[in-house]
Amino acid sequence: MIKIKQQIAAVVGDYIKGLQAEFNEDISALLEYPSDSSLGDIALPCFRFSRALRQAPPKIAADIKAAIDGKLDGVKEIAVAGGYLNFFLNESYFNEVLKGIAATENFGSSKVGEGKVVCIDFSSPNIAKRFHVGHLGTTAIGGCLKNLHEFCGYETVGINYLGDWGTQFGKLIVAYKKWSSEERINERGIEELVDIYVRFSAESEKDDNLNDEARAAFAKLESMDEEYLAIWQKFKEISLREYMKTYELLGVKFDSFNGESFYNDKMQRVIDELRAKGLLIVDDGASIVDLSEYKMPPAIILKKDGATLYATRDIAAAIWRKENYNFHKCLYVTSAGQSLHFAQYFKVVELMGYAWAGDLVHIPYGTMSVGGEKLASRTGNVILLDDLFGEAIAKAEKIIEEKNTELKDKRKTAEAVGVGAIVFNALSNSRIKDTNFVWEDALSFDGNTGPYVQYTYARTSSVLRKAVGERKGFDGYEPLKEEVALVKAVSEFPTKVLAALKDYEPSVIARYALDLCAAFNLFYHNINILKSEGAALEFRLCLTAQTREVLGKALDLLGMKRTEEI
């Protein structure tokens, strides 16, 4: 497909340049694949040429047709439809396309990122809190973006920037010393930490001394008091132990767990630098960077009492990452609710004179609500990821139990399908769209869902398992329309990968996987692959194998498991 596009672009380009020497637009970028194949296999909208040629698009289309008809190999017919020029390709052409795909090593991947490092800051939960559906977006999107970048040749650094520093840990230490113990947190895990934190909040409302104690405790922690550090370390350990189980289920890996605390001793330098560059001003006791010129509220760097903030740590972290990873881009995947924070601190980094400030990219996603209401741990309006996975896996297990009694590792497949359903659900909408969590949708295995993709993948595997004998070539075979449609769908993979990468948009891959499944299932239902013979059989098996490859890679990119059998 790619080759014929270039041919068309070259011939059309020559024709237009013959009339208008200055014309230098990239015609291959204008070519489209009509979704309705009765409109041709490739279409060229001629509207963009009307200014240069001073003519109406339908007339231009007709003139181009007259000029290039018969000049293109593999093109059966060219038709004019309004301002469009539609190209119909020879069926045998798709035979060649399939061969080309099968001969391409790691089809779909690219080298666009070679030699470049991309840091991806994602998931990054605040420790001592339970992992809930609100964290699913950043974890699934970040994981997918990491896979996508690697697939395109980048070196990636997955960073889990744990929220492990701040005044709340002073509170937690006070609460721990008063009402808990090492045994209790060992036994109850994060649950215990959440409980004592809630208790602290309630009691500190009645007794303000507790807040003073908490402030003092955090100050002690900041000054690296050994006892306090050990307690805090324990909180971290307990939290991570639980998070790791979730990451394992999701198949998400990080290269660094340097969280906010890691930058504790790296902020002074930033503060000194800001001051030296004349950016810090004192406002009502706090040190801020004025951003009014950029129509943003000031970035607060130091509070009245000298305490540092989220932004202070993020600035220090960006500088540290640039110095240590020399990133080409540093991506931050968080909910859109943090957009202002990122815009402010990116601006501060720019004002500090760092040219690479433009390489810091916030990747926001829509907020999630549950039952139409804001997620809030405090009021209990949250769904814990443990519970969600539990339900999904149990449901998958039940269905598998009913359907496929022979399957060997039922639990493993149920896990792949249950988690796959949830991940796919989280990635299939445009990233920025707000979502409302609905149990039935997240657990749905029918229609356009993750399990449908996994099931189709298993179907391709099953066909190939049943095909015995040695594989031969399929020269001269002329594909049927379902086959042409499937070859086209498979051939779109590289374009989709690059589009998803460019817009940091996993949903492009999720939707593509659905389209590919639809094309495969139509082919599978209308044509009896295994009963065919000769070149037809060979072509069909090759097409099934290439579909399986691409579908498998799409699942990998989305962070879902491949299921050979369901």
CA end-to-end span of the chain:
33
Whole-number Å distance between alpha carbons of 309 and 320: 17
Q: Which is nearer to ligand ARG, 168 or 404 (CB)?
A: 168
Whole-number Å distance between alpha carbons of 555 and 550: 9
Shortest CB 503 distance to ligand ARG, Å: 20
Q: Which is nearer to ligand ARG, 334 or 449 (CB)?
A: 334
**Main-chain phi, psi angles of 164, to 5 degrees:** -125, 25
**Cross-strand partners of 360:** 330
Whole-number Å distance between alpha carbons of 255 and 109: 22
**Cross-strand partners of 256:** 159
**Cross-strand partners of 288:** 281, 300
44 closest CA partner among 20, 22, 18, 11 = 11
Q: Which is nearer to ligand ARG, 197 or 523 (CB)?
A: 197
CA of residue 224 relative to chain centroid, distance: 38
Shortest CB 472 distance to ligand ARG, Å: 54
Length of the chain: 566
Shortest CB 138 distance to ligand ARG, Å: 7
Neighbouring C-beta atoms of residue 477, cutoff 10 Å: 21
Catalytic, 135? Answer yes
Residue nearest to ligand ARG (CB): 163
Q: Which is nearer to ligand ARG, 370 or 392 (CB)?
A: 370
Catalytic, 362? Answer no
CA distances from 382 to 33, 87, 216, 229 (A): 43, 53, 32, 30
Encoded amino acid at 262, one letter: F
Catalytic, 328? Answer no
Shortest CB 317 distance to ligand ARG, Å: 6
Shortest CB 60 distance to ligand ARG, Å: 51
Q: Which is nearer to ligand ARG, 88 or 320 (CB)?
A: 320
Shortest CB 558 distance to ligand ARG, Å: 22
Sign of CA dihedral 529, 530, 532, 537: positive
Whole-number Å distance between alpha carbons of 240 and 233: 10
Sign of CA dihedral 17, 19, 22, 27: negative
Catalytic entry in 59, 65, 129, 328: 129
409 closest CA partner among 421, 398, 400 = 400
Give the DSSP per-residue string, 19-67.
Answer: H-TT----GGGT-B--SSGGG-SEEEE-GGGHHHHTS-HHHHHHHHHHH
Shortest CB 169 distance to ligand ARG, Å: 13
Q: Which is nearer to ligand ARG, 239 or 546 (CB)?
A: 239
Residue identified by tokens 């998931």 is: 123
Q: Which is nearer to ligand ARG, 239 or 454 (CB)?
A: 239
Query: Which residues are at the interface with ligand ARG (CB under 6 A)?
Result: 121, 124-126, 161, 163, 314, 332, 334
Catalytic entry in 132, 146, 488, 553: 132
**Main-chain phi, psi angles of 161, to 5 degrees:** -85, 75
Radius of gyration of the chain (CA): 29
**Cross-strand partners of 279:** none
455 closest CA partner among 395, 536, 391, 520 = 520
Residue 483, token pair as written in the block: 């086959």
Shortest CB 164 distance to ligand ARG, Å: 9
Shortest CB 260 distance to ligand ARG, Å: 8
- Segments in 378-429 forming alpha helices (H): 385-403, 410-427
Q: Which is nearer to ligand ARG, 107 or 332 (CB)?
A: 332
Give the β-pairing of 75-81 and 286-289.
unpaired
34 touches 43 (CB < 8 A): yes
Q: Which is nearer to ligand ARG, 259 or 420 (CB)?
A: 259
Encoded amino acid at 419, one letter: V
Whole-number Å distance between alpha carbons of 560 and 455: 12
409 touches 489 (CB < 8 A): no
Shortest CB 122 distance to ligand ARG, Å: 8
529 closest CA partner among 454, 479, 566 = 479
Q: Which is nearer to ligand ARG, 125 or 494 (CB)?
A: 125
Shortest CB 332 distance to ligand ARG, Å: 5
Q: Which is nearer to ligand ARG, 92 or 126 (CB)?
A: 126
Query: Which residues belong to the active site?
Result: 129, 132, 135
